[in-house]
Amino acid sequence: MHAHRFFESDEERRKWQNPEIILGSIGLKRGYTFIDVGCGNGFFALPAARIVGKNGRVYGVDIDTEAIAILKKKVSNAGLRNVELKAGAAEKTILCKACGDIVFFGIDLHDFDDPAKVLLNAKRMLKPTGRLVDLDWKKESMNIGPPLQIRFDEEKATSLILAAGFRIESIREVGSYHYMVVATL
């Protein structure tokens, strides 16, 4: 769950991935509760906190305690009071019950020891009207990102999501390197 280890910096990553555009495209709005599973140092969590505003909430969990510490500092420096973070395994973490408008996996579903368990936890955190969003690396050779053999293709990701009891709403390309699966309960 150390997705960020593949990037030099957030600035570098922004050249090929725009978190605000992605979050806008999944319908994130003011007042929403956004749950970032495998949030790393906050590439998506920070922009999400700004989008949802003071009446919204962002929850983040990551197994990397150092990344969580960095993100806590960023949150504090930005004066954001709507972010709650937890260092720990997503397999063992339910951040809140039936509270999330969006449960988000930002290029990390393939990183978990037990993706099926993580998806079942996502299901428990999602509101009945909420959406699960899995943004992940295409299973193609490219000069960035994780090794090809650990990536999930769209079929593998959707079969895991379906097995956890979700319905697939859409699957689409996001830029040259990624795909996005959106699912509902």
Domains of the chain listed by start with CATH number: 3-184 (3.40.50.150)
pLDDT of res. 1: 44
Nearest Cα to 102, choosing from 175, 45, 21, 63?
Answer: 45
Instruction: Going residue by residue through the chain, which has 185 residues, state the pLDDT in tens, using 9 for 90 and above.
Output: 444 445 568 888 888 899 999 999 999 999 999 999 999 999 999 999 999 999 999 999 999 999 999 999 999 999 999 999 999 999 999 999 999 999 999 999 999 999 999 999 999 999 999 999 999 999 999 988 999 999 999 999 999 999 999 999 999 999 899 999 999 99
65: part of which helix (H) or strand (E)? Answer: helix 65-77
pTM score, whole prediction: 0.95
Q: Are 95 and 137 in contact, with CB atoms under 8 Å apart?
A: no
Q: How many CA atoms lie within 13 A of 173 on its CB side?
A: 6
Q: In this structure, what token pair is assigned to residue 35?
A: 């749950």
Q: Which residue has the tokens 């150390």?
A: 2
pLDDT of res. 15: 86
pLDDT of res. 3: 46
Q: In this structure, what token pair is assigned to residue 6?
A: 């593949």
pLDDT of res. 8: 63
